[in-house]
Structure 1
Amino acid sequence: MNKIHFLVLFISLLLFSCKKEDADTPKKTTGKINSISVIVDDLLWNGEVGDSIRNKFASPVIGLPQEEPLFTINQYPVKLMEGFMTDCRNIIVIKKGNENIFQIKENQCASPQNVFHFTGKTGSAILEMIEKNAPKIIQIIHQTEIEENQRLNRVSLLNSKNISHEFNIKIEIPSAYKYALQKPNFIWLKKEIISGNTSLLIYQLPLNVLKNRKNAVSNIIKARDSIGRLYIHGKEPDTDMITEEAYAPYFLKSEQDGKPAYVTKGTWEVKNDFMSGPFVNYAIVDEENNRVLILEGFCYSPSKEKRDLMHELESIIKSVSIIKK
């Protein structure tokens, strides 16, 4: 058996045919968070089409101190995958054909799964479709990965009665997080990891903090810096956590649990110290309770990748819902 036949057989054993899938017991997707399988011939991958995929889907993540790709991309040639499909959650299939078609197929061979099909007469046609549909694809994949992280979090959840009682909310926090500090209107949870730690802050402020919505980002930064001065310090005197001034935070308007929310992403540092890292801050405007509910995640993991750590924190934050009175 020559090497090519052996390779085809080997990959066939690793993969499965969609036609043979048992509809009553759909296969569950696997794979690392924030990864994409791109099925495309080497000729296209090593040219403009591959460059476009890398530029769109492996562009730097906003708000991280070091450059990390939005998604981890794994490329496979079409010839070795014909008739089969991997069980990863996010797949992009690119082929040349007689028509220019872009299709999205959910749960094609496993669940949950997104398969994005690009078929084009020419490389230029494929490039045009990628340019047009990339923002939508990124949004879909990001939401899928948030939901996958939330599923993993639910395997073992922290007892959050204290949080529910203090803030009138429901939130799904993995049991690996421990209470680091509890004060009126403020809770700090922390998870120790090999390379450092990740933290989740929950606190609330008067609604008038965001009365002037035009200055929302500056008011949020002032609020988080005041929280740092109050509760989050280094080992030496006058070492409080502040927003790093050298980099302008990334800011956008969003929605959480049906309420307006302001999302701020940037980097923090400990004043007069060498500690720093990324943060993501959700400020939810809760007019019914006359408050701004703040949920912030940040991590300290020097010299290590931080994308997936911050993604986990954002998935926790996005699980929050406010208990109705």
Structure 2
Amino acid sequence: MKSVQIIIGLMAISIFFGLQSCEPKVGKNDKVRSIGNTSEVLVVMQNNQQKDGKIGLVIEEFLGKEQYGLLQAEPIFDIAYITVKNFSSMFKKHRNILIINIDKESIGTNVESFKNRWSKPQRVIVITAPSTAYFVNDFPQYSESIIDNFNVAERQRILSIFRPSSKNKVLKSVRDNFKFNITIPQGFYVAKTENGFMWIRKEVTEYSQGIIIFSEPYLDKKQFSKESIVSRTNRYLKQYVPGDSPGAYMSLTDEYLVPTWNQVEGMDPAYAIEMRGVWNVVNDFMGGPYVCYTFVEPLNNNIITIMGYVYQPNKKKRNLLRQLEAIIYSVKLKKPQ
């Protein structure tokens, strides 16, 4: 758990370097850009006893649970705490805020959600319960919706940073080959293009990020099954994504954990399947987490999979993978006339 002193230091640095030097002037009716670390939720409590007691424990259990699919354990969100007494205008700029209000006059547990209340992009969620017991009992049933709301705010924040540099040759190449738009910031380049396949990479000293796109004719819904997506992905990876050693190639693996398969909402495609898991390089010693999304592109009736992967051995990867997730969520399909 972070103390308010740590948050003040981090946010002060963020404001000094991020807002004062880079922010455009804000008009009276405009919202300032939100602040805060990536994948962080600021929890506003009435007192420190709530943080150290059952309320804090149940919040940590759900919002701080381990993000599935990473090789090193990392929580879905880092949770920072502050009391309502110290909840000043500076902290109200945070992108993800959860406000806890125990009010004995409340009739049951009420959850309110606000978009861009004090800054932009921002999600503020207020939970009011008549007692600690009510809160602890009811929070689990709201937790997935709360996580989804904060994930949306995270993606919006990332894309607001990426969009200004996304009008580049990579975007044009994706649009020409696959007939959809996507936000891809500077730093990425097209490493390989084949018929119905594209490999986009970002290589820096500390880490590698990659985006792999492939398509083929859509025949029936069986192509959305986990087995079909894995088989199809591995076929393209083996053919087009070699490793550094002779005979080595990239592959999805279930040796370390079983990949998840879920239908997701919030993307432009009406129906999309998300998978999370681990990739490795056959005949070599490389691997890392991936997230991929599969959907139908209606203009040519093709089924498309976009896979984002990260390579950063022995270091945390959650935020790098979240960036790729945001990029893929930015897909905008061209609709038939």
Name the TM tier (shorter chain).
0.7 to 0.9
Equivalent position of 1:35 in the other structure: 40
CA 184–92 in structure 1, closer or farther in 2 if over 3 Å, else same: same
Letter of the structure 1 residue corresponding to residue 217 of structure 2: P
Equivalent position of 1:61 in the other structure: 67
Post-superposition offset of 1:262: 1.7
Alignment of 1:218-229 (within 5 A): 218-229=227-238
Alignment of 1:297-316 (within 5 A): 297-316=308-327
Equivalent position of 1:217 in the other structure: 226
The alignment's TM-score, normalised by the length of structure 1, stands at 0.87
Post-superposition offset of 1:222: 0.7
The alignment's TM-score, normalised by the length of structure 2, stands at 0.84
What secondary structure does 1:37 align onto? strand
Bigger Cα displacement from structure 2, 183-192 vs 123-132: 123-132
1:124 equivalent to 2:129? Answer no
Q: What CA distance in whole angstroms lies between the structure 2 residues aligned with 1:84 and 1:302?
A: 36
Letter of the structure 2 residue corresponding to residue 221 of structure 1: V
What secondary structure does 1:155 align onto? helix
Letter of the structure 2 residue corresponding to residue 195 of structure 1: E
1:269 equivalent to 2:258? Answer no
Equivalent position of 1:248 in the other structure: 258
Counterpart pick for 2:245 among 233, 236, 239: 236
Q: Is 2:121–2:156's contact at 8 Å kept on the other side of the alignment? A: no
Equivalent position of 1:134 in the other structure: 143
Letter of the structure 2 residue corresponding to residue 37 of structure 1: L
Q: Is 1:278–1:299's contact at 8 Å kept on the other side of the alignment? A: yes
Q: Is 1:118–1:129's contact at 8 Å kept on the other side of the alignment? A: no
Equivalent position of 1:18 in the other structure: none
Post-superposition offset of 1:82: 7.1
Post-superposition offset of 1:212: 2.4
Post-superposition offset of 1:236: 1.3
Kindly name which structure, 1 or 2, has the bigger radius of gyration based on alpha carbons: 1
Q: Deviations over 1:11-49 (max 9, x none)?
A: 9x979xxxxx98524322112222111112211111111
RMSD: 2.5
Equivalent position of 1:90 in the other structure: 96
Q: What CA distance in whole angstroms lies between the structure 1 residues aligned with 2:197 and 2:269?
A: 23
Q: What CA distance in whole angstroms lies between the structure 1 residues aligned with 2:301 and 2:114?
A: 43
Post-superposition offset of 1:245: 2.6
CA 26–164 in structure 1, closer or farther in 2 if over 3 Å, else same: closer
Letter of the structure 2 residue corresponding to residue 143 of structure 1: V
1:318 equivalent to 2:329? Answer yes
Post-superposition offset of 1:179: 1.3
Q: Deviations over 1:146-174 (max 9, x none)?
A: 11111111121132222211111111101
Give the unaligned 5+ runs of structure 1: 1-6, 16-20
Q: Is 1:114–1:141's contact at 8 Å kept on the other side of the alignment? A: yes
Sequence identity of aligned pairs in percent?
A: 26
Equivalent position of 1:103 in the other structure: 112
